[in-house]
Structures are given as structure tokens and as C-alpha cells.
Amino acid sequence: MSSAHESVRLTRDVIGVLIPQGTKVELPQDAEAEITQALGGSFTVLVQGHLFRIDGKDADSLGKEVVLGPQLAADAGDAEIEKAVWSQLHTCYDPEIPVDIVELGLVYECKIEALADGNRKAVVRMTLTAPGCGMGDILVEDVKSKVLQVSCITEADVELTFDPPWSRDMMSEAAQLQVGFM
């Protein structure tokens, strides 16, 4: 996906999340929208002067294709599963910043735990760029849903923490370059 702007007309009613407040709003079919960011399977759209986040599962409302997560073999090892989960975390984006949450330094920990039924649980500890961000719950749910797309992950525990507090020096060099900090 790209971050190029594109004008579209909504093909059906869809729930958008108002940025940065996090309020859910029903956007009507046939509304004019400008896609301002299309990264990681979710979309940031401008509708009537307001920014909204549209979840990837609703990509069809924008005339786009829904993208599913990695499907691993039933006998996949822990290293392969962890790699797939990290890959999914790289598809989670702050709706206002075109950099994924891993490169932003928002993910403090990701570990995989075996479950009694042979499946796995992903445990993610993360933060936000600002404690008062209204999109916090939305990002946590995005992380959960993306991690649960990995075929053998059946549980996801995502903990939001502000200790230690995030600072821009936690960003990768590539992310700092991309947003103009270097």
C-alpha cells in the first residue's frame, strides 16, 4: 500500500474513527473521501474536513481489497511464529504518522507463549507517542487484530504502558529520517 492521496466515493456505509479523538462515526455510502494514508491495511481518510481511520476489514468500502495476515504451517516453530508476529506489528501505523509502530519505538516487548492446545498466545507491551492520545484504544485493537491474523495465534494480550515514557530517540534512524528529525 502507499501513502499517496486518492479521491474515492464510499461504496457503503462504514464506521470511521475520528482522529485524534477516537470517536466512532458512521460515514455514509456515496460520501466523497480522500485517502491520505494507506499503510498496513488500514486507511486514513479525509471526509468533510475531518480525518478518520478506516479499518482494513472495511477496505471494500473504499473500493480496496482486504489483506489477510500470514498463514503458517501447523508445525511452525516458535522463531517462525515470532517473526510472523513482528511482521504483523510492522503493519500497524499511527493514523497521523506514516511510520509503523515498531519503527516509532512504540513496541517495548513481544513474546510468544505456548498454549495447552498447541496454539500460541502473543503478549505485546507497547506505548503511545503521547499519554493522552485518543487513538490509544484504536491502536491497541489494531495490534490485537493484526497479531490474531497469524494463523496459529489464538490469543493476544496487548498491554499499554507509559513506563518508560516514549521519546523520539526510541525511533529507528529510518523513522527519524522519514519524519524529518535527522
pLDDT tens by residue, 48-86: 999 999 988 899 999 998 877 788 887 888 899 999 999
* Domain ranges within the chain, ordered by starting residue: 6-62, 78-179
**Residue 181: its pLDDT value, please?**
80
Structure-model confidence comparison of residues 158 and 19, the more confident one: 158
pLDDT > 50? residue 8: yes
**Residue 1: its pLDDT value, please?**
43
What backbone phi and psi angles, to 5 degrees, belong to 46?
-105, 120
Residue 31 CB burial class (10 angstroms; 0-12, 13-18, ≥19):
middle
Domains 6-62 and 78-179 share a fold: no
pLDDT > 60? residue 123: yes
Show the cell assigned to 147.
497479531
CATH fold for the domain made of 6-62: SH3 type barrels. (2.30.30)
Q: How confident is the model at residue 180 (pLDDT cuts 50, 70, 90)?
A: confident
For range 4-13, the mean pLDDT: 91
**Residue 85: its pLDDT value, please?**
95
Nearest to 33 by CA among 53, 70, 6: 6
Show the cell assigned to 59.
477496505
**Residue 40: its pLDDT value, please?**
80
pLDDT > 80? residue 175: yes
**Residue 2: its pLDDT value, please?**
46
pLDDT in tens, 109-121: 999 999 999 889 9
Q: What is the pTM of this model?
A: 0.75
Structure-model confidence comparison of residues 4 and 92, the more confident one: 92
Tell me which CATH homologous superfamily contains domain 78-179. Answer: Fe-S cluster assembly (FSCA) (3.30.300.130)
pLDDT in tens, 124-173: 999 998 888 877 888 998 899 899 989 889 999 999 999 999 999 999 99
Show the cell assigned to 102.
515498531
What backbone phi and psi angles, to 5 degrees, belong to 36?
-100, -20
Nearest to 36 by CA among 58, 3, 61: 3
For range 99-115, the mean pLDDT: 95
